[in-house]
Homo-oligomer: A and B are copies of this chain.
């Protein structure tokens, strides 16, 4: 019935527009510490026992560390992000 079609199209549109807008405001950080002007994190070298993988996709749930979330982001958008890994030479 027409009402169902209108509802369906409206819902689909709403979701798709929402998603497109979120992707398209030019911001690369959708959710981390949006209460502050600039997210800068500090890691003490002395605290890195073996190595540290640091997130650069802004989607990790374990910020500032990489939790693999770059994978879903890359797959969804065709992007090629990944972490920076800080390591001791002997662990290469």
Interface residues of A (CB under 8 A from B): 2-3, 5-6, 9-10, 12-13, 16-17, 20-29, 33-34, 36-46, 48, 54-58, 64, 70, 73-74, 76-89, 92
**Residues of chain B contacted by A6 (CB below 8 angstroms):** 2, 5-6, 9
**Residues of chain B contacted by A81 (CB below 8 angstroms):** 28-29, 38-39, 58
Are B84 and A27 in touch, CB under 8 angstroms?
no
**Residues of chain B contacted by A78 (CB below 8 angstroms):** 25, 27
8 closest Cβ pairs, A-B complex = A2-B2, A24-B24, A20-B20, A13-B13, A23-B26, A23-B24, A28-B28, A26-B77
**Residues of chain B contacted by A55 (CB below 8 angstroms):** 56
